[in-house]
Amino acid sequence: MRFWKIGPVIAYDSNLPVVTNFRHSVTVLVEIFNGPYGRLLQHLLGAAQSDPELGEAFAKRWIEPRRQMGREAIVEAVKKGELDPELDPELSMDLIYGVVYYRLTVSFSAMDDGFIEAIVDRDLGGYLVGRSV
């Protein structure tokens, strides 16, 4: 099976606040979904539900690299004292990105800047140390 590379893995800038990084990451992901590869990704996600090999390849090449970058950004923000160590990085990835994939594949609802700010702020906002979003 050949698996094409679609879209960048978003680099997080450790000099920026974690909320800014996640807003940027989700914005780029939404732009990819709204661009020429969006329909392809919808079809790949759908096909992956009944094709374990495709599902594994999609997870390995698309999902996991992006989750790993997000995990690392959260761990770094905790080390810098920006986020409370009680924040679960895995759950945070699910809460932020799960909503995006739900809208892409189930509800087909719009994803604008207000939506992006809301999901990032609701997930990370309660774990910011010494400030709020």
Q: Is a pLDDT exceeding 90 seen at residue 41?
A: no
Residue 27 included in any domain: yes
Domain-embedded: residue 28:
yes
Calculate the average pLDDT of the chain.
Answer: 88
Residue 40, in any domain of the structure:
yes
What would the pLDDT profile of 42-86 be if each residue is shown by its tens digit? 888 899 999 999 999 999 988 999 899 999 999 999 999 999 999
CA distance 102 to 78: 28
Does residue 133 lie in a domain region? Answer: no
Q: Establish if 1 belongs to a structural domain.
A: no
Provide the domain limits for residue 51.
18-127
CATH of residue 65's domain is 1.10.357.10
| In a domain? residue 5 | no
Mean pLDDT score, 13-36? 90
Amino acid at 109: S
CB count within 10 Å of CB 52 equals 9
Per the structure, the count of domains in the chain is: 1
Least confident among 9-13, 15-19, 57-61: 9-13
